[in-house]
Amino acid sequence: MYAIRNKFPLTFCDRLLMLEVQSSLGIFEGRPGELFFSYDLQALDQNKFYTAGKLTAWSIIHNGPGLRCLNNSLFALMCNQEVDLTNLDLGLLPIESDDQSKIDQIKTCSTEEDLETLKQVCGDWIAGCGVPTVYTANLQDLPRVLNRVVAHFIFHRVASMIQQFTAGMNSCGRFWDLVKSYWRQFVPVFTHTGEKLTRHKLLSLFIKARSEEGSNRWEMEESTLYLFEDWLLAIEGAWYCKILNYFLAL
């Protein structure tokens, strides 16, 4: 790590670190930019969630990036916020197709007949998700039932993993407590809030003002452009594994 810091700025190393936390520890699952915590008891026993939390807090405290990959609804739940999950895209959920089908049945239930069928076919499953009141629920209660079932899969089922992650963050000066207190300000730090800025999009913002070909400055400008594009490629993340592995071998 000392060799890396001699070659790159601290924030660049932190960016590599956050990419590694997302991909190498095996504690997240889902689509890129919409990640959820994995229900992984082995990783929990190995304190991987704690390690990830500590590294995340360490990066942010040292002016580096955060994870920028968590699902927005998950992050809000982690910060003790009320969240409407009834319109959450089911395709984002890290669940089996059978579970997704049952959630879809709750969403499409619209008549008394549908409700009775739902209770008979999925009642025990819904109760197992922490909603035993489903047996006495009416049609007006279904949005609340749906909300709690989805919250079960993305939050309550992995509560031990989330608690270990936030404990890791709190090991750095109670940093998670600070995040919860100012959670809105930290949304861009933990979640994917917009379109990724690629090197091509960034380059399109510039106009190359070159000297006349053959001038003494032409070769220096050519070298500068090459180094600038190479730097953009590196921070975009395309080469981060090669860069990291190379300098770790020094």
What's the mean per-residue pLDDT of the chain? 84
Residue 170 CA to residue 167 CA, distance in Å, equals 5
Over range 79-83, report the average pLDDT: 95
- pLDDT tens string 152-164: 999 999 999 999 9
pLDDT digits (tens, 9 = 90+) for 113-165: 999 999 999 999 999 999 999 999 999 999 999 999 999 999 999 999 999 99
**What are the pLDDT digits (tens) for 183-211?**
998 998 999 875 555 667 667 767 777 78
* Max avg pLDDT among 198-202, 223-227, 235-239: 223-227
How far is Cα of residue 35 from the mean position of the Cα atoms in its chain?
A: 4
Q: In the prediction, which pLDDT does 8 show?
A: 45
Q: pTM for this structure?
A: 0.72
Q: Quickly tell me which residue has 């395709």 as its tokens.
A: 91
pLDDT of the residue at 236: 62
What string of DSSP letters covers 150-209? HHIIIIITTHHHHHHHHHHHHTTTSHHHHHHHTHHHHHHHHB--S----HHHHHTT----
Nearest CA-CA partner of 189 in 56, 25, 82, 28? 56
Q: Looking at the predicted structure, is the pLDDT value of residue 81 above 80?
A: yes
